[in-house]
Amino acid sequence: MSRPSYLLEGTEFNFDKLVLENSRKGLVLVDFWAPWAGPSLRQKKVLMRLAEQYHGRFLLVTVNTDEQKGIAGRFGVKSLPSFKLFRHGKVVKEVHGMQPEADYRGIIEKYLVPLADKARLAAAKAWNAGDHDRAIQVLAEGAVADPENLEIPAMLAKLLMRLERFDEARDVLAAMPAESRDTVELATLRAHLDFITTALGVTDEQAVFDRLVLAPDDLDAQFKAAALHMVHDDYEAALKALIVILHRDRDYDRGAARRGLLAIFDTLGGDHALVRQYRGELARLIH
């Protein structure tokens, strides 16, 4: 039965490729052992078990120092058991002597590239290469593997929006914990999605504005107008429409108008004259 791809045996012929080159992509742990050294055999079993538990998030390379004396000498291995962690082509941590399993885990965690970072980097690489479907797949898998990290679904929703897959983006955001949806980043993302989908749902723009002349208290029409102004980059008109809504109903559509206002603030930046003006308007409404 073949070894998993993240459990490899190092030799003088493959060490630089297996360890140094791969350490530029992620964490590589090198276990130095010998068949006559009992503690090194126990360490090897612990490290292999951890590698299996982490499902390849780090690469474990085992080196038999009896057979690979050149590697042992090159890296100053004089006693067993011993292991070294490599990142970016160099040793970042070395440990000598048998350790409790919890200590091995703690050392690995300290140097391990967070799963969320790994997923986002891989997705960004695929996206920049034009493989958009792969980028979406990587993030979807990352969200399942690390459900506590909200950065992955946030990036997934952003990329889905860029692909104009708005319903899927909305589903991703709706699946996130309720307490997280009001963070600045996610609230802004939801607001932009509300603007885009609302504007896309308007079949007759002029009819919306005509409706407001006759019924300025029609809050749905006001929000549609705000969305249309937003997608046409008329931020001042969008802000005016949202303020009208907030004057009449601060909780309109579960906070959609307030989220929209804050999203425009975020887009324009805190120093923009419109932001200073309408932030004051919002403060007066709240207080």
Annotate 17-82 with DSSP letters as a single string: IIIIIGGGTS-EEEEEE-TT-HHHHHHHHHHHHHHHHTTTSSEEEEEETTT-HHHHHHTT--SSSE
Whether residue 11 is contained in a domain is answered as yes
Token reading at 46: 């612990």
58 lies in the same domain as 127:
no
Whether residue 193 is contained in a domain is answered as no
12 lies in the same domain as 107:
yes
pLDDT value of residue 187:
85
93 lies in the same domain as 74:
yes
pLDDT value of residue 1:
46
Whether residue 33 is contained in a domain is answered as yes
pLDDT value of residue 149:
79
17 lies in the same domain as 105:
yes
Number of domains in the chain: 3
276 lies in the same domain as 236:
yes
Whether residue 186 is contained in a domain is answered as no
14 lies in the same domain as 61:
yes
Choose among 112, 122, 187: nearest CA to 152: 122
- Which CATH number characterizes residue 139's domain? 1.25.40.10
- Which CATH number characterizes residue 56's domain? 3.40.30.10
133 lies in the same domain as 100:
no
Whether residue 67 is contained in a domain is answered as yes
214 lies in the same domain as 248:
yes
Which domain covers residue 141, as residue numbers? 116-176
157 lies in the same domain as 222:
no
Encode the chain (287 residues) as per-residue pLDDT tens digits.
456 778 899 999 999 999 999 988 888 999 999 999 999 999 999 999 999 988 888 999 999 999 999 999 999 998 999 999 998 889 999 999 999 999 999 998 888 877 677 788 889 999 999 999 999 999 998 887 777 778 889 999 999 999 999 999 999 988 888 777 777 788 888 999 999 999 999 999 999 999 999 999 999 999 999 999 998 999 999 999 999 999 999 899 988 999 999 999 988 988 899 999 988 888 887 76
pLDDT value of residue 287:
65
Block residue for tokens 């603007």: 195
